[in-house]
Amino acid sequence: MSSSANRRRLLTQSPGVDAEFSVTRYLAHLARSGFGATRAAPARPRLAVGAGDIGVTFIGHATVLVEMDGVTLLTDPVLSQRLFVIKRLVAPGLPEGGLPDLDVVLVSHGHHDHLDVPTHRGLAKRATVAVVARNLTDLVERAGYERVVELDWEQRYEHKGIAIRALEVNHWGTRGLLGDRRGYTGFLIEGPSGTVFFPGDTAYTPLFRQYGERFSIDVAILPIGAYRPDSFRRVHMNPEDAWQAFVDLKARHLVPIHWGTFVLSYEPVDEPPTWIHTLAAAAGRESDLALLQHGEGRVFSRAVATRTAER
């Protein structure tokens, strides 16, 4: 089946849902699933990340701690208790003792579930550099970073032997109600220990196949939530889209994010992780799926990655 036919099949095969967003229905869903008490995430010891290892810890939503080659990176930090009226379902899963010293903070775009100004102000910094999508500098420049680096797609920034490359994804960046020309980007993190891909928010895009040819990706950190109503799939992936992205990227391991933290859409809160697990099992690749709970981390070692690649 051609790729576009395949896409059409995916788009029409989605479970029966409204095509467009209804505020009333969303608020009803939010009231049912998003207004309980925020669950605590059990604090776990920090990962032991050795030479040649990539450590990935799911803090919550799109906030992920990546540790490799002695460099510590945090993606799209949002640690606040609520986003306007939307309360967290699970508290941030911070390691025991809190976050380690951060070298780099990545910001994929300006949507409030990815860029929370109070979180940026509150993060402890020690010569920490923020690497952000285009036209986001003003939002974080007074947060105490040593430097704010804006990257356009395909631009690179090197920090302590790690290269961060901005890559086009399929989303949009407007933060306010009016068009504000905020940018959006994915990031590829490359170091001696391997390569990590973090697209931020994205819909499925054929670009993933190109990235799979261009790069040797060890860990793909992919969003799997906020896909109902169906119109949301113009900007987000459902688990089926994310699985296709994972296959196209030829990544060795998949870490799903953007689920179970904030209710942003109609799908049942526990549907995305169940669905992605079903897809991994059907493909015989359960061992390549790292379905981390909030606060849980995984170390991907080069030896394991190599074994997987040779299979």
- Closest to Zn ion by CB, 53 vs 113, is 113
Closest approach, Cβ 103 to Zn ion, in A, equals 24
Q: Name the burial class of residue 52, with classes exposed (0-12), middle (13-18) and buried (19+) by CB atoms within 10 angstroms of its CB.
A: middle
> Which residue lies nearer to Zn ion by CB, 62 or 71?
62
In angstroms, what is the minimal distance from the CB of 171 to Zn ion? 6
CB of 225 to Zn ion, least distance (A): 8
Q: Are 79 and 95 in contact (CB under 8 A)?
A: no
Bond before 229 cis per omega within 30 degrees: yes
Interface with Zn ion in residues 173-202 (CB under 5 A): 201
Nearer residue to Zn ion within complex by CB, 62 or 143 = 62
Distances from the Cα of 65 to the Cαs of 7, 46, 52, 71, 83, in angstroms?
32, 11, 17, 11, 21
Compute the least distance from the CB of residue 236 to Zn ion, in Å.
Answer: 7
Sequence letter at residue 84:
F
Contact between 177 and 188 (Cβ < 8 Å): no
β-strand pairing of 194-198 with 82-83: unpaired
Kindly tell me which of 262 and 300 has the beta carbon lying closer to Zn ion. 262
**Binding piece for Zn ion, criterion CB under 5 A, among 25-33, 109-117, 130-138, 272-280:** 109-117
Q: Least CB distance from residue 67 to Zn ion, whole Å?
A: 23
- Residue from 53, 113, 150, 240 binding Zn ion (CB under 5 A): 113
Q: Which stretch binds Zn ion (CB under 5 A): 10-18, 105-113, 133-141, 274-282?
A: 105-113
Rounded to an integer, what distance in angstroms lies between the CA atom of residue 194 and that of residue 302?
A: 7
Which CB atom, from 46 or from 109, has the smaller least distance to Zn ion? Answer: 109
Please give the residues from 199 up to 218 whose contact with Zn ion meets the rule CB under 5 A.
201
Q: Which residues contact 240 (CB under 8 A, 6 or more apart)?
A: 10, 14, 275, 279
Q: How far apart are CA 38 and CA 95, in angstroms?
A: 18
Tell me which residue of 111, 90, 97, 102 sits closest to 131, measured CA to CA.
Answer: 102
Stretch that binds Zn ion, among 26-34, 44-52, 111-119, 284-292 (CB under 5 A): 111-119
Residue 47 or 263 having the CB closest to Zn ion? 263
DSSP state for residue 17 in the 8-state scheme? -
Question: Residue from 29, 46, 88, 111 that binds Zn ion (CB under 5 A)?
Answer: 111
Q: How many residues bind Zn ion (CB under 5 A)?
A: 3
State the nearest-atom distance from the C-beta of 282 to Zn ion, in Å. Answer: 26
Residue number, 197 or 300, with CB nearest to Zn ion? 197
Least separation in angstroms between CB 75 and Zn ion: 12
Which residue number, 170 or 193, has a Cβ lying nearer to Zn ion?
Answer: 170
Closest CB 148 distance from Zn ion, rounded Å: 20
Alpha-carbon dihedral angle through residues 190, 191, 193, 196, given to the nearest 10 degrees: -20
The CA–CA distances, whole Å, from 13 to 16, 76, 274, 299 equal 8, 31, 18, 35
Q: Is 271 in the site for Zn ion (CB under 5 A)?
A: no
Q: Is 75 helix (H, G, I), strand (E, B) or coil?
A: strand
Q: Please give the residue ranges that form the binding site for Zn ion (CB under 5 A).
A: 111, 113, 201
